[in-house]
Amino acid sequence: MFDLASIEKFEHIATPFYYYDMELLGRTVDMLSCLSARYGIDVHYAVKANVEKRILEMIAGRGIGADCVSGNEVLRALECGFPADRIVFAGVGKSDREIHDALAAGIGAFNCESLHEIYVVNAMAGAYGLRARVAVRINPNIDAHTHKYVTTGLFENKFGIARHEFEALVELLGRCRNIDFTGLHFHIGSQITEVSEVFSLEARRAGEIVSWFEDKGLHVADVDFGGGLGVDYEDPDGNPMAHFEAWFKAIVENYHRRDGQRLHLEPGRSVVAQCGTLISRVLFVKRGETKNFLILDAGMNDLVRPALYGAYHKIENLSSRFRKGFSEMQAYDVVGPVCESSDVWGQGRLLPMSVRGDLMAIRSAGAYGQVMASRYNLRDFAPAVFSDDFDGAPRYADYFGTEMPDALQHLRPAARIPGTDPESAGRI
Catalytic residues: 339
DSSP SS3 for 363: coil
Residue 266 is labelled as binding a ligand: yes
What is the spatial distance between Cα 260 and Cα 336, in angstroms, rounded to a whole number? 53
Report yes or no: 165 and 119 within 8 Å, Cβ to Cβ. no
What is the spatial distance between Cα 211 and Cα 219, in angstroms, rounded to a whole number? 10
Helix residue ranges per DSSP H, 159-194: 166-175
Residue 269 is labelled as binding a ligand: yes
Torsions phi, psi of 198, nearest 5? Answer: -75, -45
**Residue 127: C-alpha distances to residues 93, 121, 223, 361 (Å):** 20, 10, 28, 52
DSSP SS3 for 247: helix
Residue 214 is labelled as binding a ligand: no
Residue 258 is labelled as binding a ligand: no
Residue 340 is labelled as binding a ligand: yes
What is the spatial distance between Cα 221 and Cα 351, in angstroms, rounded to a whole number? 53
DSSP SS3 for 149: helix
Residue 305 is labelled as binding a ligand: yes
Report yes or no: 14 and 401 within 8 Å, Cβ to Cβ. no
Q: Which amino acid is at 319?
A: S
Residue 268 is labelled as binding a ligand: yes
Residue 299 is labelled as binding a ligand: no
Residue 288 is labelled as binding a ligand: no
3-state SS string for 45-107: EEHHHCCCHHHHHHHHHCCCEEEECCHHHHHHHHHCCCCHHHEEECCCCCCHHHHHHHHHHCC
- Binding region: 228, 266-269, 305, 309, 340, 368
Binding-site residues for pyridoxal 5'-phosphate, please?
228, 266-269, 368
Annotated binding residues for substrate: 269, 305, 309, 340, 368
